Amino acid sequence: MTVWKRKANQSIAQAMLGTALMALLAGCTLKIDEQQFIARSDGHTAYTQEFVGELTQVMAPSQVSQIAFTTEDKVNLKGFYIDNPNSETMLVFFQGNGMKVEPHSLSVLSKLAELQTDIVVIDRRGLGASEGSPTIDNLLSDAQAQLAYLQQTYQPKQLVLHGYSLGSFIAGQLAKSNQIDALVMHGSATNVDDWVDEKTPWYMPFVDIEVVGNFRQVDNQQVLAKYYKGPLLVIGGENDEMVPAELSDKLYQASQSANKQLIIVPGATHTNMLDDKQTMAKYQAFLNTI
């Protein structure tokens, strides 16, 4: 089983579990905010030649090139453009919380390469090779700037946004207000309230959980119910320990798209859904419909 290694920064669920007993004993309110949740690096680090060589080998015969752009507030964001010579479709992959391009992306990119599209992956602000300090607001504005940069620079004939875990909320917000050809929500929750409800441990019935900051402005269920009506693929893991499969089903049910598909991968956890060959075959068939 392939495991996408992630930095040990705490997710909401892990933070809840780690402080649950203390909160229960104190009878207090457990607050979840951006500083607790959004993983960040201690400074930015350039991609190593060894990693670039590995990525080039894994993605062959596609051509791998480094890309970089600067945001309006002068933050440099870096990543990779993987050019499949036989494709005019660009798949933009938004990674999960704490996933750096180096070293965490080789496995997922090798799976996505089976789809025979161009692929873009960029370290988000405050992580890996990219500068800055992340907040919900600037991650969303960065994603909009990234999309504009990619469209202007590469002018793809078709544009597919693939959001994994936290990245699905970024992809969803882009789909809400931009013209795209397909949206993939992979290991995704509906919204923060549903996710907290699903992940609250049984031994915390008397603890109030307060979500502070701008988490509620990113609501995938609302995006699918009211705004995005294009082709949609929802991928969930039957045994996903981070985002229960029930939330994938809720996203699918909320969608008003005429072309929507739901895949609940048998036995899959949060990290290995794309290892399933049937799932990738269904993903390819979905792309063939757009």
For residue 141, being part of any structural domain is answered with yes
**pLDDT score at 12:** 43
**Residue percentage of the chain with pLDDT more than 70:** 80
Residue 3 scores a pLDDT above 60: no
How confident is the model over 102-111, as a mean pLDDT? Answer: 96
**pLDDT score at 211:** 53
CATH code of the domain in which 171 resides = 3.40.50.1820
**pLDDT score at 32:** 61
Q: How many helices (H) and strands (E) does the chain have?
A: 11, 10
**pLDDT score at 192:** 77
In this predicted model, what pLDDT tens digit does every residue of 215-251 receive, in sequence order?
667 899 999 999 999 999 999 999 999 999 999 999 9
pLDDT range class, residue 213, cuts 50, 70, 90: low
pLDDT range class, residue 214, cuts 50, 70, 90: low
**pLDDT score at 195:** 72
**pLDDT score at 29:** 54
Residue 27 scores a pLDDT above 60: no
Nearest CA to 92 out of 165, 171, 152, 153 is that of 171
From the CB of residue 249, how many other CB atoms can be counted at a distance below 10 Å? 15
Residue 35 scores a pLDDT above 90: no
For residue 1, being part of any structural domain is answered with no
For residue 129, being part of any structural domain is answered with yes
Mean pLDDT of the chain: 87
Phi-psi region of 213 (alpha: psi -120 to 50; beta: other; left: phi over 0): left
Distance from C-alpha of 153 to C-alpha of 284, rounded to nearest angstrom: 26
Residue 203 scores a pLDDT above 70: no
How confident is the model over 80-105, as a mean pLDDT? Answer: 96
How confident is the model over 167-175, as a mean pLDDT? Answer: 96
Q: Could you tell me if 288 and 158 are in contact, meaning their C-beta atoms sit under 8 angstroms apart?
A: no
Residue predicted with more confidence, 35 or 170:
170
**pLDDT score at 217:** 76
Distance from C-alpha of 169 to C-alpha of 13, rounded to nearest angstrom: 17
* Containing structural domain, residue 76: 45-191+217-287
Tally the domains of the chain.
1
Q: Could you tell me if 255 and 225 are in contact, meaning their C-beta atoms sit under 8 angstroms apart?
A: yes
Distance from C-alpha of 169 to C-alpha of 174, rounded to nearest angstrom: 9
In this predicted model, what pLDDT tens digit does every residue of 249-266 receive, in sequence order?
999 999 999 999 999 999
**pLDDT score at 23:** 46
In this predicted model, what pLDDT tens digit does every residue of 56-79 receive, in sequence order?
999 999 999 999 999 999 999 999
For residue 243, being part of any structural domain is answered with yes
pLDDT range class, residue 163, cuts 50, 70, 90: very high
**pLDDT score at 234:** 98
Rounded to 5 degrees, φ, ψ at 284 are: -65, -40
Residue 271 scores a pLDDT above 80: yes
**pLDDT score at 42:** 87
How confident is the model over 163-189, as a mean pLDDT? Answer: 96
pLDDT range class, residue 37, cuts 50, 70, 90: confident
